[in-house]
Structure 1
Amino acid sequence: MSTCASELAIMLSGAGNATGAADLLCGRLDYVSNGIIDTSNAVNSTYLLFSAYLVFAMQLGFAMLCAGSVRAKNTVNILLLNVLDACTGSLFYYLFGFAFAFGTPSNAFIGKQFFGLKKLPQTGFDYPFFLFHVPYWIVYPIVSHWFWSADGWANAGRNTSEWLLFKSGVIDFAGSGVVHMVGGVAGLWGALIEGPRRGRFEPNRVDIRGHDASLVVLGTFLLWFGWYGFNPGSFTVIDKKYGPSGSINGQWSAVGHTAVMTTLAGSVAGLTTLFAKYMKTGQWKAMDVCNGILGGFAAITSGCSVVDPWASVICGFVSALVLIGGNMLAEKVKFDDPLEATQLHAGCGAWGILFTALFAREKYVNEVYPGREGRPYGLFMGGGGRLLAAHVVVIIAIFGWVSLTMAPLFFVLNKFGLLRTPQEHENAGMDLTYHGGSAYQFIEPAAVGAAVGAPV
C-alpha cells in the first residue's frame, strides 16, 4: 500500500500524470474486486462441499435405519445393499445421471450435456455441485431435470412467458417430490410385485418387527444431521444478499431459516406420532416415532425455504397423520414394506408438495426465486390457486413417470425369479444363505420364528 501511495504521489505532483494515476487506481481496484470474487466463490464452494458431506452421511443413516428395521438374519444383506447403492450410484451418476439431470442447454424433458462430466468445471456446474447431487441418484435424474434444471418444464426459475403450468413454476426446493416421492413410488411397485413377507398376513400371524431399536434410533439421528445439508444445502450458495449491503437479509439468513423449519417439522411429527401411537396401542413406540420424524422431514423438504415457523408445525403434524393413516391402510390391504417407504416417502412427500402450495409466503418466495413478476405463492397466504394446481399436476406426473419406469422393471425381475429369494432361503435368512454367516449371534423370538416356519 505504501508503494502504491508513493507512485500515486509522484504521478499527481507537478504536471502530474492523470492517465497513469487512473491506470494505477483501476488496477488496484480490479485486484481487490477480483479478490472479493475469488473469496466469494471459495466460500460458496466450501459451503456446498460441506453440505454434500452432510448429505453423504445420510447414507450411513439409511444403512443403520435399514439394518435395525429388518430381521437380524438379513442384516449383512441389507448393509451390503446400502454399500453397493453408494458405489453404483456414484458411478452411474457420473456416467449419465448428472447429464440427464442438469445437462443444459437441453429440452424440457431430459438433459443431454455433461456425460462423464465432460465440459466440467464451468460457471454454475463445478465439481461440488455434482458431488452434492450424487447421493440422490436412485431413479430421479429425469425428474430432477423437470424441477431443478434451467430447461425443465416445471422449473420455478423459468421466465413467466415460458411457464407451462397455469403460468406457474413448481416450488420443490429440496425434493419432497423429486427425491422422496420418486423413491416412495418406486418402493410401492417393488413391494406390490414382490408381495408380503411369508407369515406376515397369515391367520396366526404376529407382527414382524425390526430387530434392533438402537440401530433405528442411531440411523434416525444420522439422517436428521444429514438433513441440515440436504435442505439448507439446496441453496447451493450462501454468499448472496437479499437487500442493501450490511443488512441481515441474505442467503446466510435464509440458510438458518431453512434449517429451523426442518427441525420444527420433524420434531412435531415425531411427537405427534408418539402420542397417536400411544392412544392407539397403549405403548410408547420408539421405532414408530423415528419414522414419524423422518416423515416430517420428507414433507418439509419441499417448502422449507418459503414457509413460516407456524406453518412448519402444521406440516409436521399433518405428515404424522399421513404416515399413520398410510400404515393403517397398508395393514388393511395387506401391503408389506418393513421400512414403510411408500407411506413415509411417497405419502409424506406428496403432502409436502401440497403443503408448499398452500403455505408458501410471498416474501420468502420472491427472495428465493427472484425476478419473476406476478409469481404465485401459497393459497392460504393469499396467493391464489395457480401454484396449487401446478403442484397437483406434478404429483400426478411423478407418480406416472416412476410407475412407467419402475413397475415394468420389477415385473421383469419377478418374472425371472430375481426379485425374491426362495422360501428356504427366506426362512433361514439371507445372511446365512448368501453371505456366509450372520452379522452377529441373535436368537429369533419363538413366536415370530414359528409364524414363518423358521427354526427357532
Structure 2
Amino acid sequence: MEVSWEQSVTDSINTVYLLFSAYLVFVMQLGFAMLCAGSVRAKNAMNIMLTNVVDAVVGSISYYLFGFAFAFGDGSNSNPFIGTSFFALKDIPSSSYDYSFFLYQWAFAIAVAGITSGSIAERTQFSAYLVFSFFLSGFVYPIVAHWVWSSSGWLSPSSSDLLFGSGAIDFAGSGVVHLVGAIAGFWGALIEGPRVGRFDAFGKPVPMRGHNATLVVLGTFLLWFGWFGFNPGSFDKILVAYPNTTDQGNWTAVGRTAVTTTLAGSTAGIITLFSRRLLVGHWDALDVCNGVLGGFVAITSGCSVVEPWAAIVCGFFAALVLIGFNILALKLSFDDPLEATQLHGGCGAWGLIFTGLFAKEEFVIQVYNSGESGVVRPYGLLMGGGWGLIGAQVIEILMILSWVSVTMGPLFFALHKLNVLRIPIEDEVAGLDISSHGGYAYAGHPAEENHPRFYADYMRMQDNN
C-alpha cells in the first residue's frame, strides 16, 4: 500500500521526537548518579556510582528479554493483567517507530530500579542489587506498565473497556514509575533496617549528610532537563495535524505539558525552601533540590491534562507531602538515605490523586481522543467531572501498593534470610568502597570523615586479626 507524503512526514516526526525524548530520559540516569553520589558519604561514593551503572545495564537485558513483552507484547497469550510471557524479541514489530518506542520504554524501566537503589544505599551487598534490579525491571514494573499504558491494560485510559468509564490517567508515571520504585525501596529499607549510627540509643536521628552538595545540585538540574523527555515525550505519537484535519491532535498539548512540569517543580522548590527555613532555621539547598524533584514526581501523572495554575497547586501540596513524610519517617526510625520512598512514594501517590481532582475535560479529550468532537469522558472531581476518574486513580494506587508489596517484599526478605542483603557491620563502618570495591572513589581519601572513631576501631580490629 502506498504511503502518502503527509503520512510519511508524520511518521518521521513522530519517530525523531520519540527517539529524542528517549535520549533525554536516559540522561536522567546521569542525574540519578550525580544526585545519589552527592547524597551519600564519601566512603560509599564508588558503590553508589556502580549501582547506578548496574541498574542501566542489568535493566537493559531484563527489559529486552522479558519486560517489554510483559508490558506491551502482542502475542497470543496477551491479557489485561500480565501481558504476554513471550520474549520481547518476537513481539517487537519491525517498523522503526516501534523500535523507537521500545527504547523509550526501556529508559523508563531502568529509572525505576534507580529509585529503589537510593532507598537501600550505604548498607546493601552488591549482589543484592543485581538480583532485585533484574527482577524489578524485567517483571514487577512491566506488569504495572501493562495495566496502565498498554491499550489492552485493564486500567488503561485508552482501553476499549474503560474502568469506571475513564481508566486511570497516569500520563508519564507518577504511579507506574515513581510509586513502584518507592514501594520496592520501602520494603528493602524496612527489612534491612537503618544504617549504623543513623539513630542513637534513644531513637533520635543523627545527621548523616551527603558529602558533596555540588553533585546533588548538578544531579537535580540533569533530572530537570531529562524530565522534559519524561513528561512531554510521553506523547508516543504527537499526531501532527494538517490544515485539512478536523481533529486537533494531541500534539497541541506538548508545550503545555512542559510548562506544567516546570511550574509544579518550581513551586514545590519554593515552598520547601521557606518551609524548611522555618523548621530548621537556615536555608538548605539540598532540601530545595528534593522539593523540586517532589513537584516533578507529582505532576508527572496529570501534566498533560491540567491547567498551569493547577500545576502550581500540585507543587504546593507536593512540598508539604514530602516534608510531612520525612518527619514521619524520622519518628518511625525509617532510614532512606535519599528520601526516595518519601519523595517518589508520597509525591507519586499525591500526583495520582491530584489528577483525579483537577484534570480538565477539554484536555482529557485532547490527549486521549485527539480532540475528537462529541466525546464524553470523566474528568477531575473538583472540575465537575464526577467520581469516575478519581475512583480509577485510587484503584491504581491500591493495586501498585499491593502488587509491589507481594512481589518485592518477599524478594527482599528472602535475600535477607540468605544473608546476601545487608553487608556486615564492620564493612558498613569502614565503607562499601574499601570493603567491596577496592578503594575509595577519591584518590588519597583518608578515613570516612563523619565517624573517624568508627574507622579507627575497625582498623585496630583488622590489625588484631
Tell me the TM-score normalized by structure 1.
Answer: 0.88
Percent of paired sites with the same residue: 59
| Cα deviation, residue 313, structure 1 | 0.1
Counterparts in 2 of 1:316-395, with a 5 A limit? 316-370=315-369, 373-395=375-397
Partner of 1:144: 145
Counterpart AA for 1:334? S
- 1:37 matched to 2:43? The reply is no
Can you give the 5+ residue segments of structure 1 that lack an aligned partner in the other structure?
Answer: 1-29
Whole-angstrom CA distance in 2 between matches of 1:61 and 1:39: 33
Partner of 1:11: none
Whole-angstrom CA distance in 2 between matches of 1:124 and 1:300: 30
Decide whether aligned partners of structure 1 residues 448 and 253 sit closer, same or farther in structure 2, where only a CA change above 3 A counts: farther
Deviations 1:422-449 (A, max 9, x none): 0110011111111111011446676644
Counterparts in 2 of 1:192-203, with a 5 A limit? 192-203=190-201
- 1:112 matched to 2:84? The reply is yes
| Cα deviation, residue 95, structure 1 | 0.3
Contact 1:427 1:454 in 2 (8 A): no
Contact 2:273 2:283 in 1 (8 A): yes
Aligned residues: 422
| Cα deviation, residue 300, structure 1 | 0.3
Match of residue 175, structure 2, among 165, 168, 177: 177
Deviations 1:325-360 (A, max 9, x none): 000000000000001111000110000000000000
Counterparts in 2 of 1:78-227, with a 5 A limit? 78-104=48-74, 106-112=78-84, 115-122=87-94, 126-137=98-109, 138=113, 139=136, 140-159=141-160, 162-163=161-162, 165-203=163-201, 206-227=206-227
Whole-angstrom CA distance in 2 between matches of 1:84 and 1:291: 24
Which entry has the higher C-alpha Rg, 1 or 2?
1
Counterparts in 2 of 1:263-282, with a 5 A limit? 263-282=262-281
Counterparts in 2 of 1:10-21, with a 5 A limit? none
**What's the secondary structure of 2:296's corresponding residue?**
helix
| Cα deviation, residue 110, structure 1 | 1.3
Tell me the TM-score normalized by structure 2.
Answer: 0.86
Whole-angstrom CA distance in 2 between matches of 1:209 and 1:190: 21
Whole-angstrom CA distance in 1 between matches of 2:363 and 2:417: 49
RMSD of equivalent CA atoms: 2.3
Deviations 1:59-100 (A, max 9, x none): 100011110111100011111111111001011111010000
Can you give the 5+ residue segments of structure 2 that lack an aligned partner in the other structure?
Answer: 114-135, 460-465
**What's the secondary structure of 2:159's corresponding residue?**
coil
Deviations 1:260-310 (A, max 9, x none): 110000000111111100010111111111111111000000000000000
Contact 2:81 2:143 in 1 (8 A): yes
Contact 1:206 1:451 in 2 (8 A): no
Whole-angstrom CA distance in 1 between matches of 2:348 and 2:255: 22
Match of residue 417, structure 1, among 416, 419, 422: 419
| Cα deviation, residue 116, structure 1 | 3.6
Whole-angstrom CA distance in 2 between matches of 1:455 and 1:286: 33
Decide whether aligned partners of structure 1 residues 362 and 420 sit closer, same or farther in structure 2, where only a CA change above 3 A counts: same
Partner of 1:288: 287
| Cα deviation, residue 198, structure 1 | 0.7
Decide whether aligned partners of structure 1 residues 439 and 124 sit closer, same or farther in structure 2, where only a CA change above 3 A counts: closer
Decide whether aligned partners of structure 1 residues 94 and 443 sit closer, same or farther in structure 2, where only a CA change above 3 A counts: same
| Cα deviation, residue 120, structure 1 | 3.0
More displaced 10-residue stretch of structure 1: 39-48 or 109-118: 109-118
Partner of 1:404: 406
| Cα deviation, residue 409, structure 1 | 0.4
Whole-angstrom CA distance in 1 between matches of 2:174 and 2:96: 23
Whole-angstrom CA distance in 2 between matches of 1:210 and 1:248: 51
Partner of 1:76: 46
Deviations 1:14-52 (A, max 9, x none): xxxxxxxxxxxxxxxx97x62322222111100000000
Partner of 2:430: 428
Contact 2:426 2:458 in 1 (8 A): no
**What's the secondary structure of 2:164's corresponding residue?**
coil
Partner of 2:34: 64
| Cα deviation, residue 248, structure 1 | 12
